Amino acid sequence: MALNLTTIRKTNPTTLTILKKTCINFHPRLPHLTSRSNSPYTIYPVNPDPAYHLNPGDQITLTSILSAQEAGYMHPHLKCITTSGIEFYVTSTDIGRFLGL
């Protein structure tokens, strides 16, 4: 079963697991999780600071679920925090791509 927003709401987990190499893209308003790729076709550049890199198996803490209105975007977002204290968001459309239980 693929992880999605409905599953997260039903199971109410406190921690989630990173499934692939990712990077927290620092956006001044909404830092968010993106793919970590060196491809010239990536939409977001890779943050050079390794503190913002997450690897498969890393655990993150889910702090809240924001509605689209609360996030100020088209989709709901998960608000998460790394073990080193970096706060970021995951778009609901990216949950199955980046996160597992």
* Mean pLDDT of the 22-51 span: 85
CB–CB of 81/87 below 8 Å? yes
The pTM of this model reads: 0.89
Mean pLDDT across the chain, nearest whole number?
91
The pLDDT value recorded for residue 52 is: 94
What is the rounded distance in angstroms from the CA atom of residue 33 to the CA atom of residue 30? Answer: 10
Instruction: Give the Cα separation of 79 and 4 in Å (integer).
Output: 14
pLDDT given for residue 69 in this prediction: 93
Give residue-wise pLDDT tens across range 50-90.
999 999 999 999 999 999 999 888 999 999 999 999 999 99
Domain ranges of the chain: 5-100
- pLDDT of residue 1 exceeding 70, the answer is no
